[in-house]
Structure 1
């Protein structure tokens, strides 16, 4: 199952998911997007793997670890979450609204683009 979590409520999701391990945010945006706007880690680990590289780098991720997917607006990250669900990942969330919503709801210092 894939949870849909707004950035403003992500801390609550992390707290619930932490029972299964330290939460991980998987940022699936392109390198130029990461240079434009990135999140600061706060109670979670951040790993950046562009969506197109994920199938070849899947072994870098632990399927038993809680994982929340992030992109620009939430569409790419939802596709990635569905893919990871099909690969047997156990605890997944899509960060609804992506980094754009993150900037509005969680950390206004993150530039919008």
Structure 2
């Protein structure tokens, strides 16, 4: 089971991490140009969902990874894929960037 982190609970989740998290944004490039999160106490890496299998080497195995997409479905699939590949500290950002904009950062555009 993949842990779900709501954007409203992000700060609590961040405080519980022992290493600097990576937010893996799996949306398409046009979506990133439309709306994106601003890295603060985490790093941000954008890799479209369909490119993940070929780019696994870019993902650290020793840091928490929080997967992000538009509404949370694609990122959930990527999180499950990563878990099956042996990544042990993977969560899904529930509700995606839309929930992030609504619950955490209203400056992020909705689309």
Task: Provide the TM-score with structure 2 as the length reference.
Answer: 0.97
- 2:58 is aligned, of 42, 57, 60, to 60
- Other structure's SS at 2:86 match: coil
Corresponding pairs, count:
111
Please list every run of at least 4 consecutive aligned residues from structure 1 whose deviation after the TM superposition is greater than 3 angstroms.
none
5 Å-filtered alignment, 1:1-40, equals 1-17=1-17, 19=18, 21-40=19-38
Structure 2 regions of 5+ residues with no counterpart? none
Q: CA RMSD in A?
A: 0.8
- Other structure's SS at 1:10 match: helix
Structure 1 regions of 5+ residues with no counterpart? none
Following superposition, the deviation at residue 23 of structure 1 comes to 0.5
The structure whose residues are more often helix, as a share, is 1
Task: Provide the TM-score with structure 1 as the length reference.
Answer: 0.95
The 8 Å contact of residues 65 and 90 in structure 1, kept in 2 or not, is answered as: no
| Partners of 2:50 and 2:34 in 1: CA distance | 19
| Partners of 2:109 and 2:10 in 1: CA distance | 19
